[in-house]
Amino acid sequence: MARTRTTDVLIAGAGPVGLSAAAELRRHGLRCRLVDRLPARLPYAKAVGVQPRTLEIWDRMGLARAAMERAVPMLGQLTYVNGRERARIDLELPPEVPYGFAALPQYETERLLEEYVAGLGTVIERETELLSFAQDRDGVTARLRTAAEPRRSCGPAI
Ligand SMILES: Cc1cc2nc3c(=O)[nH]c(=O)nc-3n(C[C@H](O)[C@H](O)[C@H](O)COP(=O)(O)OP(=O)(O)OC[C@H]3O[C@@H](n4cnc5c(N)ncnc54)[C@H](O)[C@@H]3O)c2cc1C
């Protein structure tokens, strides 16, 4: 039988964006549920380049040092075509910017953020897929499918 649970915010997707949203919401005291349809974090990376501004935000969250220990500084980009250099970009920043660009595989970013939100009491609900949602004057009702059973989660729109 379908169960109903209520939360402040439902986040569908525990990639870097969903995890960052959960981290900031939890840091500011809101309740949230974080669901992902996958059974586990993917072992390969799409997002690799981390922007300086992201590192500033991670600094406020206390994550910048851990991230920098695992990251490689990104100084620029070289493009080769058939073995010949065709383009070169230097990633220079004004001296007042506290962090540079960094390369960190997406699974490492997700692992760091996952540990962070778990420390604030939010654990990713795996194998849980957002199927649909509908908004009325009282909030949003979302329909979720879990490995065990379909169920509902209510809360305001995000
Ligand atoms: C080839 C390629 C190279 C890239 N290179 C870079 C790069 O170098 N640097 C960079 O910053 N970005 C890069 N990107 C972009 C980067 O992948 C995205 O910006 C980043 O993954 C976005 O994070 P996300 O959390 O929004 O999405 P995703 O990483 O796609 O995560 C979405 C999550 O939501 C889950 N999900 C989706 N729908 C549902 C649902 N209905 N219910 C429950 N769960 C759901 C999925 O299972 C997944 O875990 C690249 C992208 C591609 C395709």
**CA atoms of 63 and 120, how far apart (whole Å):** 14
Name the H helices within the chain.
16-27, 52-61, 64-70, 106-119
Domain that holds residue 79: 49-104
One domain, residues 67 and 100 = yes
pTM of the model: 0.89
- For 50-70, what is each residue's pLDDT tens digit? 999 999 999 999 999 999 999
CATH for 140: 3.50.50.60
Distance (Å) of CA 69 to CA 16, 54, 102, 108, 128: 18, 15, 11, 11, 32
Q: Please, are residues 77 and 91 in contact by the beta-carbon 8 Å criterion? A: yes
Distance (Å) from CA 46 to ligand 1 centroid = 7
One domain, residues 96 and 55 = yes
* 157: pLDDT strictly greater than 70: no
One domain, residues 35 and 73 = no
End position of a domain, from candidates 87, 104, 121: 104
Sheet of 150-155: strand order equals: 4-6, 150-155, 139-146, 128-136
One domain, residues 81 and 113 = no
Tokens 């909030």, residue located: 139
- For 85-101, what is each residue's pLDDT tens digit? 999 999 999 999 999 99
The set of protein residues with a Cβ atom below 6 angstroms from ligand 1 is 12-18, 35-38, 46-49, 106, 129-130
Nearest alpha carbon to residue 50 among 42, 41, 40, 59: 59
State which ligand 1 atom lies nearest to the alpha carbon of 38. 47
Average pLDDT score, the chain: 92
Distance (Å) from CA 21 to ligand 1 centroid = 14
